[in-house]
Structure 1
Amino acid sequence: MPLSDVYAVASKDIVFESFDGEAVVLDLSNGKYFGFSDSGSKVWQALASGVGIEALVRSSAGAATIDAAAIETFIAQLVEFGLLAPSNATPRPSSDDLPAALAAASEPLNVSVHDDLADLITVDPIHEVEEPLGWPAVKQVS
């Protein structure tokens, strides 16, 4: 699969937060959430901020568990899950601390998918109130 030069978060329904350096990504459209290995969190954060693939591969040069093929596979998974999409934006350089962070990562690139809370996540109690149905109403997928 040929890689794009840069990727962006695929839609406004994809939200993410970093907790103590670990990224958690939530797809509000289907209620799935995604967890990453330590290296996966670093790569996700770089990709989501527009770091170019070339810069990311250069940054991973000192990492024992990450190489260009692993990055390509990881990106393909993120695209398949609908989290990232190719972008026409100008690639950003990686941060100065990314190579050290990737070199210190102890796990290979990995993403895990969880859907155990999907029914709760897709309920929008603030915006999906319908008088005859009560509250909260399940968000209708179109």
Structure 2
Amino acid sequence: MHHSDVYAISSKDIVFESFDGEAVVLDLSSGKYFGFSDSGSRIWQALSSGVDAQVLIGLTAGASTIGRAELEGFVSQLLELGLLVCLDAPPQPLPSELLAELAATSEPLTVSVHDDLADLIIVDPIHEVEEPVGWPAVKQAS
């Protein structure tokens, strides 16, 4: 980790939604989507909202505590996947409800990558209409 352990979502093409506490992150530019374990979902919420990663080390996650190596591995995976970028900004406070949600988790920090829907996701039905072809027009790889 770096001297500044504050992160932000890397681009406007990265969107996420929580479903029953599980975060699903979608990269609209590549069509890949990412699923997180329950603890990973909470850590994603904290990191993507500007909470200093150092604050998360030692927190209770289910039956264990979050270790430095585990958190560094998770963060570096998010950086490699292009989901987060380092920020040079003051950290945001950790919401207290996130602490309780993290303590109630049961799975280790993990990210899963899926690209089975990529072809559908990168089709832009609003902007990719060609009159003679119809809708939607899939961008051809150049």
Instruction: State the TM-score, normalizing by the size of structure 2.
Output: 0.89
Structure number with the higher strand fraction is 2
CA RMSD between the two structures: 1.9
Q: Aligned-pair distance for 1:131? A: 2.0
Superposition map of 1:1-142 within 5 A: 2=2, 4-57=4-57, 60=59, 62-63=60-61, 64=64, 66-139=66-139
Quickly say closer, same or farther: Cα 1:90–1:120, change in 2 above 3 A: same
Please give the per-residue CA displacement for 1:102-140, whole angstroms capped at 9, x wherever unaligned. 222111100000100000000010111122432211246
Identity %: 69
Secondary structure in structure 2 of the residue aligned to 1:100: helix
Compared CA separation, residues 3 and 137, structure 1 to 2 (3 A): farther
Q: What's the CA shift for 1:3?
A: 6.2
TM-score under structure 1 length normalisation: 0.89
Q: Comparing 127-136 with 113-122, which one deviates more in the overlay?
A: 127-136
The answer to whether the 8 A contact 1:65-1:105 is kept is no
How many residues end up aligned between the 2 structures?
A: 140
Instruction: Return the offset for 1:69.
Output: 1.3
Is the Cα contact below 8 Å between 1:3 and 1:72 reproduced in 2? no
**Consecutive unaligned residues in structure 1, runs of 5 or more:** none
Provide the C-alpha distance between the structure 2 equivalents of 1:9 and 1:69, rounded to a whole number of angstroms: 22
